[in-house]
Structure 1
């Protein structure tokens, strides 16, 4: 079973949290890269450095966008009204996002998967069991106590 199936099961109340997180960590996700400031003319998305991983801030958390396939990434581009341009991306393991990228962020960070899919999206927040303990907001010593 792949990550989209695990997300569907979880959203329908049939999922197992441990299995969902395990599948997320094993999944190869497409993570959009912000456009080069010179090529874009206006720089990167809000809060992003040009050429970095695309993310957005909400509720004091930096959310990295990640997609389970090109179709999901295209739906995101279309929802933003930007489906007419090229969307460069990196293929990254979910584990690499939370174990290597999240600790580099100044403040709490998580991963938002397939955010344009109303029934197929899932947030992986900065909590113990998903991100490294030093970055978890729900334990002492984490990004936010």
Structure 2
């Protein structure tokens, strides 16, 4: 992981893998997607994860599920930051430079999701390009996240 700012992302770092993920998301929306290819592309991609003050990771809870935010492109991250700044009760305007980590999708699923579950005690998945035209949810299910935090494998599920 490394911290950077949007508007000046590291050129070439993970671009091919992010492009593959974007293509898989596009195929999914066009009805030609493959869950296995999509998951493999997600795990290989170095995604942009915004840094937000007073939060270990930028996330939101919706209907009992905690969603960690990740983005396939600096433009998607900037769109999200603008939408967040314009929302009521959000801190200050976007300055044009957004701090973020570059994190492999595999690290988000295998490390960040279990840590978030341990901290929040809530089912946790990853939301990709949440403010974009083609958002994607990586749900907290087996074969996506580690079995101990997969909601479909928990007792009583």
Same structural fold, with TM-score higher than 0.5 when normalized by the shorter chain: yes
Q: Distance between the aligned counterparts of 2:145 and 2:152, measured in 1?
A: 11
Alignment of 1:1-145 (within 5 A): 2-35=20-53, 50-80=54-84, 81=86, 82-84=93-95, 86-104=97-115, 105=117, 106-118=121-133, 120-141=134-155, 145=157
Normalising by structure 1, we get a TM-score of: 0.82
- For 1:22 and 1:76, the matched residues in 2 are separated by 25
1:80-101 deviation line (CA, Å, top 9, x unaligned): 2243353211000000011011
Q: What value does the CA root-mean-square deviation take over the aligned residues?
A: 1.6
| Structure 2: gaps of 5 or more residues | 1-18, 87-92
Q: Which has the higher contact order (CA 8 A, sep 6+)?
A: 2
**Structure 1 segments unaligned to the other structure (5+ residues):** 36-49
Greater fraction helix? 2
Look up the SS of the partner of 2:130 in the other structure: coil
Q: How many residues of Structure 1 are paired with residues of Structure 2 in the alignment?
A: 128
Q: Which runs of 4+ in 1 moved over 6 A?
A: none
